[in-house]
Amino acid sequence: MKRNFYKMILTAVFACVTSTSFIFAQTAYEIMKKNQDLYKGDTAVYQMKMTLATKGGKPRIREVAYYFKDYGTTDKTVMVFLTPKDVEGVGYLMWGYDEEGKDDDTWLYMPKSGKERRISGSDKDNYFMGTDFTYDDIGDRDLSKDDFNLLGEENIEGSECWKIECIPHDKTERSSRRIYWIRKDCFVCQKGELYNRQNKLERVLTISGITQIDGIWTSKKMFMENLASGHSTLLEMNDITYNKPLSDSMFTVAELKKGRIGR
């Protein structure tokens, strides 16, 4: 009888722990879903200043024109490098889809060759144009690719945040796990840590200048520090405008090749 009693207690405890883990996992997913579903405007336009730096080296500065348009189940983004001369005219086009499991369509146009290159899934872990952001970092990652854990809560730079761990299903990815701090008041990401395949901290993302413009939560600065290489990239968004009419033709490879976007 006593043995049966202990068995019942252990079963109840196990069920409680399992149920709690499930709730936490669901909560972590819901937080990340709300972060991803934040309203970005029907359109967005801004100028991006990109500063690439090494320890003790002279920073390299690039200027980029950025355009975004939401088509409902699809959103399209185009970035065109304006300066300096060695990257002038380089364009990046991305079509993102709401459909679960469907990868983004992305193209990189190089004016020197006059050709565009399709960015395949195997390229997503590569760094984008010499920055410390990968192609995967600059897109909207499909939530179905990860498992999520709520690690706790922390105050980051005066803001209360949830600490979420994201573990990819694909173990060949560059990052074995990613940790994000999501603000409780607005569901905007405040900080990120990205770990390599050996589970060693490789890159740290710091986001600042979080504010509302026309009622839309906006991050004005993103700083990615690569601890492995000592390299860093600062992205600064300026002259931000939302819901300005944009032509559909802007979001095509054909328009990129004409070299008129952002000029």
Q: Which residue has the tokens 């972590």?
A: 28
231/5: higher pLDDT: 231
Is 57's pLDDT higher than 70?
A: yes
**CA–CA separation, 175 vs 198, rounded Å?**
9
What does the pLDDT read at residue 93? 97
Q: Please state whether the predicted TM-score (pTM) of the whole model is above 0.85.
A: yes
What's the one-letter identity of residue 62? R
pLDDT in tens, 34-48: 999 999 999 999 999
Q: How confident is the model at residue 5 (pLDDT cuts 50, 70, 90)?
A: very low
The answer to whether the peptide bond before residue 59 is cis (omega within 30 degrees of 0) is: no
- Specify the pLDDT at position 100: 85
Give the pLDDT of residue 186: 96
Give the tokens for residue 173: 């990815």
Paired strand residues for 206: 191, 223
Structure tokens given for 206:
């710091």
Q: Alpha-carbon distance 14 to 17, whole Å?
A: 5
Residue 2 has pLDDT above 90, yes or no: no
